[in-house]
Amino acid sequence: MIVIGIDPGLATVGFGVIRTENGNITPISYGCIRTSADKQTPERLLEIFNEITSLFEKYNPEVIAVEKLFFSKNVTNGLSVSEARGVIFLAAQQHNIPIFEYTPNQVKQAITGSGKADKKQMQEMIKRLLDLDEIPKPDDAADGLSIALCHINIMR
């Protein structure tokens, strides 16, 4: 099974592609989709949609796992993340890919055993669990891998 984990955002969408087969977990790819703040929001959303669609077509995932939006004090940021999630969900629906959502605390719990883990602890665990030579960079890509691995761990 191939799972794509997605950390949504308007400026940066982190993603991680993981294959799980016969109990073996293998990272396939990870990275970020970046959009320019110089562009209008609709242009940025279209760019995210097109790039996510390309990822789905390249890796043909059985499911995607997306970080669930939690509202913070920055409502503007929350709205732009919601818009990015919308185009990601649209692309998934167009490809008939089931969507699973996880809160940041669920992801932390599934990866480290603690819902209060910090970013450094999360990154170290991802490196260790996926047998990577180094911590995935940038942070958003590591988050994408974490979300995919969270889904795999929860579904076991």
Give the active site residues: 7, 67, 140
Q: At what angle do helices 104-112 and 119-129 cross, to 10 degrees?
A: 50
Nearest to 144 by CA among 52, 31, 11: 31
CB-CB contact of 110 with 116 (8 Å):
no
Q: At what angle do helices 41-59 and 75-94 cross, to 10 degrees?
A: 40
Q: Where would I find the H helices in the chain?
A: 41-59, 75-94, 104-112, 119-129, 139-155
Q: Please give the full DSSP string across 35-51, using - where no structure is assigned.
A: --TTS-HHHHHHHHHHH
